[in-house]
Structure 1
């Protein structure tokens, strides 16, 4: 594979698992830095802000600056600030997400909410869930930071925003009016534009077929899939993506060898 002009990588399940870096992650990032290949991290994990994710990665020895880290929460905030300027939003999300939304210009409020936003809420309570359901039944606009039903962790998979969305749909019959984050190509283009990465020479790296491989395909960029997390060797769903040019590698060591030699 020819060396790309820029690389955008998924986070959970690709570079890290919980608070543990996956094999080859540090070496890949350092290798890209040394080779002068710009990179960024694109994550649907809206439980933490970009700043808090960067601090998390720093504790693992992974050199990713906050300005190179793009979250579905910040992207949702950017879009909502444009679509609902000055209107209060009820959030099912963490304090870290609330702070990131505020930085993007979104008014997060417990009272008088005129919209609902669902994120990866690791602080979720039944009372807050019931409040969101009541607002949805009143017909307020409804959004989600991303669609993932589960987030990979060392102990398995944790209920993510998509699981909360499924619960609310069962209770209220409503689906979000818009879901931000991957696999929406707009999220990828936003990150690429912010860093000046070339669309025509971009490589996107992830571990999930339905999110990461689908994103690369929808965006029309080269894609690489790292096996071992959400996707196993021999998965029959791989075939159509491989026919479209998806690079499949065993781990990040193999990816580094293919990209940097």
Structure 2
């Protein structure tokens, strides 16, 4: 019996076939352990994947981004420079000399475990992360949400894990972990079953900004409220979603004289402890 309309023959070079298989693997279009080009084409036909032009950037944009790589490298922002380099390598406009130069800048390819993590994040696929620290302790984490985030010029894996033992954050956030990627020398990453969470656990922190900071403050994507208090002159009320108190406190402590944490109380208490420790270091006495 004829199977008209059920199959298609592609005439491509071995190189193009390898590229299609790489794209299929990147988006999880697999048949067992092998990438499946048919699934990739079907996903495109069903508009699960969207095809866009990759050769319509003006030369001025390519040149500006290329200069950014050097400028960021010169000021020590290597991770950000690498992000732009990877973005440029995805474009079809690059000349062969420029492509070779950018590839040389990126140097060695990332380790296999890092590539796997990036793929799982892209596919929203839960995974098991196992690694050994410098003290030869082995850690295992069941990851159900993750993203790569820059914190203070370093790249970190921010993730939601089932395991909470050893997490020193407040109880509401103990499922959230933050791993510095350049300190993981080797890791085992394997796919697991189950649901991918839409985001990290979060709490809402209210803070009041005073004086010049109230006027200079620039809203962030994590802010759910940003308003002037009607009954207090020059006081801005900001409510922000916070997934990690460590990085949040690191940020706001530099603005301590003009930034007051109002709630929740457990985060406010962490700030108080920091301030009390600072006063003790400078032999300052706090009277009730």
The answer to whether TM tops 0.5 is no
Structure showing the higher strand proportion among its residues: 2
Bin of the TM-score, shorter chain as denominator length: under 0.3
Structure showing greater radius of gyration is 2
Q: Which has the higher contact order (CA 8 A, sep 6+)?
A: 1
- TM-score by length of structure 1 reads 0.24
Structure 2 length normalisation: TM-score? 0.22
